[in-house]
Amino acid sequence: MLPQLQPALSEYYSDNAEPLKTRIFDSIWQTFNQPNSTRVVKPKILDLGEAQPDSFNFYSEQAGYLTIADCIQPLSELAWPEEENPNQALEKKIKEIIPPTFTQYDLILSWDSFNFIQPKILPYVHNHLLNFCTNKTIIHGFLFTSENRPKQPSVFKILDSGRIKHAVSNDESRQHTPLTPLAINKYLPNFQYARSVLMRSGLQEFMLTRK
Amino acid sequence: MFDINEMKKNVSDKFSKVSENKFEPGVSQKKDEPVKTTNTSSQLASIGPSIHFKGELTGEEGLIIDGRVEGTIDLKGNQLIIGNNGKIKADVFAQTIIVNGSLTGELHGKERVHISKTGKVQGNIFSPRVSLEDGAKFKGSIDMSEAKHEKPQSNLQDNQLKRA
C-alpha cells in the first residue's frame, strides 16, 4: 500500500507561488474606501507579524498609521508561568512583548500567528489586545487548519488589497491539532466570528469583528 | 601633523560604499527612484566608531555616525546616515535618515526614512516616505500622514506662542 501523501506544503515555501486572492482582506479594504463609509479612509493598522518590506508600498498608500508589533516569535515562546501569581506574571510578560500605546486601531492583522500561541495563553493576549481596540476594530487573520503546517510563522506580503503573496523561510513542517477560526474565536470572547474562506492546502482566511 | 584634507579623503573612502551601495533601491522602493543623497560623503561630517556621545547633537550639515550617540540629534534640513557600526539611542530629526546600523528612538524624517538590510530600528517613525530593504529589522509605529517632522520648540517658545 502506498504511504499516504502529505499535502503539498512545498508550494508555500516558494516565493514564486501564485499570490493568494483574498476575498475578505479585499472586502475589508473596500469598506474602508467607500465614499460614505463611517469608517476612516486611511485605517490605523496593528500588524502582529514582522516588518515586510514588500508590504510597505501598500501601507504607505493605504494606511494612516501602522504599528509593526513583531510579537509572534516571543508570544509563541511564552510558557505558562511558574510564579505564585501566574496571571499577573503572564500579563506583565505580554505587556513587555506588546508595549501599551495610546493608539486604538481599526484593523489588527494576525497572519499565521494565533496557531503559534498556546491556547491557554490566548485569552491573556486577547485581554491585552483590547487596549488597542475601538468598538469597531476588525481582526483579519490567516490560520493553517490542515494537520501539517509550516514550522515557523509564514511570511505574507501585501501586493495590493486583493492579493497577498505567501512565502516562508524554511522547508520544515510540523503536525499540530488544527484550530479553526471558530475555535480561535472562543479564546477571544470580545470578538465575534464574521467570515472565513478556505484557501489552498488548509489555509483559512478569517475575520473577527468587535462585539 | 593633522591634515583636514587627508581626514576628509579617508572619510570619503570609508563611506563611499555606504553612499553608493546602501542606497540601492530596496524592495519597497521604485527602481527608478533611488534614495536621494543631498551630499556626497566627503561633504558629510562624521562621528567615528570609537566616539561615544551623550547629549543634544545639533548641526546644519549632513552627518554620518559610525559611533555611539545617546540623546537627541537635530540636523534640521540635512541628511543623517547611521553607518553599519553606528548605535544610536536618540530621537532624530533630519531631512533624510538612512539607517545601516541600529537605532532606538523616534525618527522624524522630513523627506524620507530608509532602513537598509543591515539596519535595525526599534521605535516610531514619522515621515511621508518610509522604505525598508529585505532583511531590515523594524519594530514600532510608522506615521506617514501627520507632519511631525520638525523638532518641537522649547517650552519657553511654546508658551510665548500661546500668549501671542
Q: What is the CATH topology of the domain spanning A17-35+42-210? A: Rossmann fold (3.40.50)
Report CA-CA distances (Å) from A110 to A45, A105, A175, A192, A210: 11, 13, 21, 15, 15
Q: Is residue B57 a part of any domain in this protein?
A: yes
A residues 85-114 closer than 8 Å to B (CB): 101, 103
- Chain B hits for A68, CB-CB cut-off 8 Å, are 138-142
Q: What are phi and psi of A129, to 5 degrees?
A: -65, -25
Among A87-91, A188-192, B141-145, B151-155, name the one with the lowest average pLDDT.
B151-155
Domain boundaries, chain A: 17-35+42-210
- Cα–Cα dist A109/A47, whole Å: 5
Q: What pTM value is reported for the model?
A: 0.79
The verdict on residue B158 lying in a domain is no
Tell me the pLDDT tens digit for each residue of B56-108.
999 999 999 999 999 999 998 899 999 999 999 999 999 999 999 999 999 99
Q: Do the domain assignments include residue B32?
A: no
Examine residue B22 and state whether it is found in any structural domain, yes or no: no
- Are B145 and A65 a contacting pair at CB < 8 A? yes
In angstroms, the CA A154 to CA B132 distance is 19
- The answer to whether A139 and A191 have CB atoms below 8 angstroms apart is yes
What pLDDT is attached to residue B107? 96
CB < 8 Å to B139, chain A? 51, 68-70
Would you state the pLDDT for residue B59?
A: 92
Give the separation between CA A181 and CA A140, rounded to whole angstroms.
11
Note whether residue B140 is domain-resident.
yes
Question: How far from B137 is each of A19, A110, A210, B60, B114, CA to CA, in Å?
Answer: 24, 19, 31, 29, 12
3-state secondary structure of B14: helix
Number of domains, chain B: 1
Domain, as residue range, for B103: 1-13+43-146
DSSP annotation of A205: E
Write out pLDDT tens, residues B15-62: 444 444 444 333 344 444 555 555 555 578 999 999 999 999 999 999
Cell of A24: 475578505
Which residues of B fall within a CB distance of 8 Å from A64?
Answer: 143-145
**N residues, chain B:** 164
A20 neighbors A204 (Cβ within 8 angstroms): no
User: How far is Cα of residue A171 from the mean position of the Cα atoms in its chain?
Assistant: 21
